[in-house]
Amino acid sequence: MFTLPFSHIAERECFVYHRSMKEGPDISQIGALIGDPARANMLTALMGGQALTATELAGAAGVTLQTASAHLSKLEGGGLVTQRKQGRHRYFALGDDEVGLLLENIMGFAANRGLMRTRPGPKDPALRKARVCYNHLAGDFGVRMLDRLVADGDVALDGEDAALTPTGEARITAMGIDVAALRTQRRPVCRTCLDWSERRSHLAGSLGEALLARFIADGWAKREKDSRAIRFTPDGERRFLALFPD
């Protein structure tokens, strides 16, 4: 009986493996788009959830307007940002919630490995306490909120998946949030998002956005200008900590 030599089998397996590597999703394209330092700075600036002009993003990236426009064209082509025209200006924003979730997860991955771009600055304590992660609350307060909702049985976790329980729906409804309306949206009501500063998950999804909007609408907190930081008022912080205690 004729038997193929082991070396031939190994070569064939190697060939099949490398051929399979050319099929499926191409992460190299997304990696290249995010991996450029200027584009990474632009995407980080858009994590604040506000639409920004090319001029503002050029300032955030430390590049000329012409260079920023070229970068934004690539990001838009890759689906990472979208643009809309308002009057004479064009405003750019993250493509969708999935992009925000991807970026926050990458930030958490980098932070876990000590890959930080700068030394802690004056604004870092504020960012670590409470900040916007695209459209929901992140930082210590964001993690605290999810921890309490889970401990109280209002949110059920299954790995990285999250679901609002019946008791949670009653609690959220009592806060003046229309849960039925949240369920009509294309994204999940609840989802977890890895927090880059706390190294644990905070609450994202349509509920995460609705809760942050409620805190701001009720005057508990406000966004700091030109920053992702969320500043709670003394009264707002007391109310928040009473609602979501340790």
Token representation of residue 131: 């900040």
- Mean pLDDT value of segment 106-120: 73
- What DSSP letter does each residue of 49-61 carry, written as one string? S--EEHHHHHHHH
Same domain, 193 and 229: yes
Say if residue 44 is in the same domain as residue 124: no
Of 95, 121, 139, the residue that ends a domain is 95
Residues 231 and 146 in one domain: yes
Let me know whether 86 and 118 are in one domain: no
- Is 120 part of a structural domain of the chain? yes
Confirm if 141 and 240 have CB atoms less than 8 A apart: yes
Domain-embedded: residue 108? yes
The 10s digit of each residue's pLDDT in 166-205 is 999 999 999 999 999 999 998 899 999 888 888 889 999 9
Count of domains forming the chain:
2
> Does 219 or 103 have the greater pLDDT score?
219
Residue 117 has pLDDT above 70, yes or no: no
What's the pLDDT score for residue 122?
42
Which of residues 134 and 146 earns the better pLDDT score? 146
Residue in 46, 92, 97 with CA at minimum distance from that of residue 73 = 92
**What confidence score (pLDDT) does residue 121 get?**
46
| pLDDT tens-digit series, residues 11-61 | 555 545 455 556 778 889 999 999 999 999 999 999 888 889 999 999 989
Q: What is the pLDDT of residue 172?
A: 97
Phi and psi angles of residue 147, each rounded to the nearest 5 degrees, phi first: -55, -45
Report the range of poorest mean pLDDT among 22-36, 74-88, 100-114, 124-138: 100-114
The CA radius of gyration of the chain, in Å to the nearest whole number, is 22
Residue 14 and residue 187: Cα distance in Å, rounded? 40
Burial 113-147 (b: 16+ CB within 10 A, else e): eeeeeeeeeeeeebbbbbbbbbbbbbbbbbbbbbb
Beta strands (DSSP E) in 131-200 are 131-133, 136-138, 155-158, 161-164, 191-194
pLDDT band at 100 (very low <50, low <70, confident <90, very high): confident
Does residue 208 fall inside a structural domain? Answer: yes
Is residue 14 situated within a structural domain?
no
Q: Are residues 192 and 217 in the same domain?
A: yes
In this structure, the answer to whether residues 117 and 183 fall within a common structural domain is yes
Q: 78, 95, 112: which is the final residue of a domain?
A: 95
Answer with the residue of higher pLDDT: 105 or 183.
183
**Is residue 70 assigned to a domain?**
yes
Average pLDDT of the residues of the chain:
87
Q: Are 97 and 104 in contact (CB under 8 A)?
A: no
**112 & 180 share domain:** yes
Q: Which pLDDT band, with edges at 50, 70 and 90, does 86 fall under?
A: confident
Same domain, 182 and 124: yes
Eight-class DSSP state of 229: B
**Please, are residues 135 and 142 in contact by the beta-carbon 8 Å criterion?**
no
**Residues 6+ positions from 149 with CB-CB distance below 8 Å:** 155, 168, 203, 244
Between CA 69 and CA 87 the distance in angstroms is 18
Residues 68 and 87 in one domain: yes
Residue 20 counted as domain residue: no
Give the pLDDT mean for 128-135: 92
The pLDDT, as a whole number, for residue 31 is 92
Cβ burial 179-208 (10 Å sphere, 16+ → b, else e) = beebeeeeebbbbbbbbbbbeebbbbbbbb
Measured between alpha carbons, how far is 20 from 41 in angstroms, rounded to an integer? 34
CATH number at residue 53: 1.10.10.10
Q: Compare 117 and 67 and report the one with higher pLDDT.
A: 67
Report the DSSP pairing between strands 89-94 and 136-138: unpaired
- Whether the pLDDT of residue 76 is over 50: the answer is yes
**Which pLDDT score is estimated for 120?**
45
Same domain, 60 and 155: no
123 inside domain: yes
Let me know if residue 237 belongs to a domain. yes
Q: Is residue 103 located within the same domain as residue 212?
A: yes
Domain span holding position 221: 99-243
User: What's the pLDDT at 230?
Assistant: 96
Final residue before a domain boundary, out of 64, 95, 126: 95
Same domain, 103 and 90: no
